[in-house]
Structure 1
């Protein structure tokens, strides 16, 4: 029994790390909007509150399982609360990404008010909590499908949040230093939002293609950065 629980624990942890990549990238993009002095505090508070929300949601697992029952019927399209969550989360990610792209393209004065609004630490914390909640619904349902041991699931969630805090710090530093990496990350979140909306209306697209494209793009950019560094040293 103990060996079986250990196996389930590491299986869940591996799944959380892989599925948490989306969350880490979104959090990194959101947090770079706040001043340097507040970034760590915003990350810690946002993720701590997100963890509390996850644990509360886990305790109401029976309610989450019922979220898969359709409540809206549109011709051949049957939407459950879970589908609506995914559509809402996807639309939010698309909106957020488009705003990021517009901010990068145009730095005009009339955009400053919008920029300042999104850089409000409290709004960033709220964004982190909401998006983590959207992503965590599938995580919780997957976890319950693997084990009914609530302690194991709670432990995995706590460890995954700690890893998110650690990884997001390094991603924030890379995004801040290299603008092209930020652009790749923004496009990743934009496409992820589209996939979530499609998933919400029962059009399934594998995330593997998105991960492969993202990793490939990052590797190309890293090679370019190394080449530029080498050329500057030679000169």
Structure 2
């Protein structure tokens, strides 16, 4: 431990990996913010807490199973010269789920459909949100940790970076969720992001890697434009 604290290489790996884990956590935060926007505020807060706690637990659990996790990258089935590992299969399934969920939510927003606000449906909706968050947490955690393994071989550094990234995700999730809930147009934009991220996951599963920098630049640029739209609408109402 002392050697790690005094090693410039260890600190460089830690800072780089922490920054990468924070960036990869953006997907998690966007998804959670969108899916909790359709349930009451108190349930939404609990769902965010549960979802982000699960994200941390899954990441640390996967790090503790490094040998098994590395085995997930070995080919298990070949289809028309495409060799798929369990990681590829999980990424494809998770990406398709993300695309289907985002598309369904976009359709519901466009058609202005509302769920009946009964107590039973409220509880069922909360459990459904937790289930969906759990599925996506597993997919994003797998992608995140396999990336972490490629950057550092020290378990202490990887766990520290993951914990700090999850704490920042937790701090950011509340403001992001409230902003999405308060501005309906940003929810549509967030859903479009989720479709884009789902496509990237499916492409990764088929060994066609789309550099995440392109995706995050598109997200950041679109979010900045939408922020200007929100400010313009606010100023028009104020005048």
Q: TM-score, normalised by structure 1?
A: 0.90
Deviates more, 1:182-191 or 1:159-168: 159-168
CA offset at residue 186 of structure 1? 0.2
Aligned residue in 2 for 1:224: 229
SS at match of 1:68: coil
Paired residues for 1:185-224 under 5 Å: 185-224=190-229
| Change in 2 beyond 3 A, CA 1:108/1:6 | closer
Write the distance in 2 (CA, Å) between the matches of 1:219 and 1:17: 19
Aligned residue in 2 for 1:20: 25
Residues 70 and 80, structure 1, Cα contact 8 Å, conserved in 2? yes
**Cα root mean square deviation, aligned:** 2.0
| Change in 2 beyond 3 A, CA 1:46/1:231 | closer
Deviates more, 1:189-198 or 1:78-87: 189-198
Write the distance in 2 (CA, Å) between the matches of 1:53 and 1:7: 25
Write the distance in 2 (CA, Å) between the matches of 1:88 and 1:181: 26
**Residue 161 of structure 1: which of 149, 159, 166 is its match?**
166
- 1:43 equivalent in alignment to 2:56: no
Structure 1: which 4+ aligned runs deviate by more than 3 Å? 116-119
Aligned residue in 2 for 1:56: 61
**Residue 86 of structure 1: which of 84, 91, 113 is its match?**
91
| Change in 2 beyond 3 A, CA 1:153/1:190 | same
CA offset at residue 119 of structure 1? 6.3
Aligned residue in 2 for 1:95: 100
Residues 34 and 119, structure 1, Cα contact 8 Å, conserved in 2? no
CA offset at residue 69 of structure 1? 0.9
Deviates more, 1:143-152 or 1:26-35: 143-152
| Change in 2 beyond 3 A, CA 1:164/1:179 | same
CA offset at residue 35 of structure 1? 1.1
* Consecutive unaligned residues in structure 2, runs of 5 or more: none
* Consecutive unaligned residues in structure 1, runs of 5 or more: none
| Change in 2 beyond 3 A, CA 1:198/1:147 | closer
Aligned residue in 1 for 2:189: 184
Q: How many residue pairs end up in the alignment?
A: 231
| Change in 2 beyond 3 A, CA 1:231/1:136 | same
Write the distance in 1 (CA, Å) between the matches of 2:44 and 2:33: 10
TM-superposition CA deviations, 1:28-55 (whole Å, max 9, x none)? 1112122111122111122212322221
Deviates more, 1:149-158 or 1:186-195: 149-158
Residues 9 and 152, structure 1, Cα contact 8 Å, conserved in 2? yes
| Change in 2 beyond 3 A, CA 1:196/1:230 | same
Q: TM-score, normalised by structure 2?
A: 0.89
